Amino acid sequence: MDTEKEIKNAVVERYTNAALQESGCCSSSCGCGGDDAPGMNEYYSDADQHIIEEADLGLGCGNPTAFSELKEGMTVLDLGSGAGIDVFLAAREVGPTGKAIGLDMTPAMIDRATKNREKLGITNVEFVLGSIDSMPLEDGSVDYILSNCVLNLVPDKQKAFQEMFRVLKSSGKFTVSDIVTVGEVNEDARKDLSLWTNCVSGAVEKMQYVKKLREAGFSDVTIMKEKTVNTFREYGFGLVSITVSGTK
């Protein structure tokens, strides 16, 4: 079987269902907030309530924008942008002279995020359909990359990290929140598409994650926050949410 293709198709199906829901997604029927992986979602500040009401589906595992170094005029890229929560928060930080781009491979999410942009009246935002492992963006076109509980869903992590390096400008930075493991995920778990789409079996061991980022060319790779979110005892590994940064 074409495992990578099957995984991507399953992810698109899962997050299409999430996008079509009218409210936040915190049940076993969708994504990272599901019953298969409890405790992953982190909540945003009450100051962002007007954005949260439209764009937070409860699918994240951190708040990368809060740890980022965004500045006025930057071009920011959010990988796996979903309904747009982190894109909209980034757009506020970079201001009218900057731009926030959301990249997602699920058409229904792009549609929902675009509608949210119109409701919120945010003009310095663009949503693009595409895959993280083959981004439809030019080399060196982005100042800063964000991502929230998405890179674990990509089958080829090294290719995704290399694409991040490619699209960043020289000295550009990233801050991503993601799920990693303590202990290795066994083959039975890796083959479980439900666990993949719930941000579980696609996760890699924490220090391997850091190593892969460094191998892609990034320097100053630093884990800024870490929180244990779940243990899959029957599979022999634990899950950890990390927020990590690095520089091209």
Q: What is the DSSP string of the chain?
A: --HHHHHHHHHHHHHHHHHHSSS---STTSSTTSTTSTT---PPPGGGHHHHHHH--S--SS-HHHH----TT-EEEEES-TTSHHHHHHHHHH-TTSEEEEEES-HHHHHHHHHHHHHHT--SEEEEE-BTTB-SS-TT-EEEEEEES-GGG-S-HHHHHHHHHHHEEEEEEEEEEEEEEESPPPHHHHT-HHHHHTTSTT--BHHHHHHHHHHTT-EEEEEEEEEEEEEETTTTEEEEEEEEEEE-
pLDDT for the residue 212: 98
Q: Torsion over CA of 80, 148, 240 and 217, rounded to 10 degrees?
A: 80
pLDDT for the residue 58: 59
pLDDT for the residue 237: 87
pLDDT for the residue 24: 42
pLDDT for the residue 18: 86
pLDDT for the residue 83: 87
Mean pLDDT for back-to-back runs of 10 residues, the chain (248 residues):
84 90 43 43 56 59 90 97 91 96 96 92 96 98 96 96 98 96 88 90 95 98 91 80 96
pLDDT for the residue 230: 74
Domains of the chain: 3-247 (3.40.50.150)
pLDDT for the residue 38: 39
pLDDT for the residue 2: 61
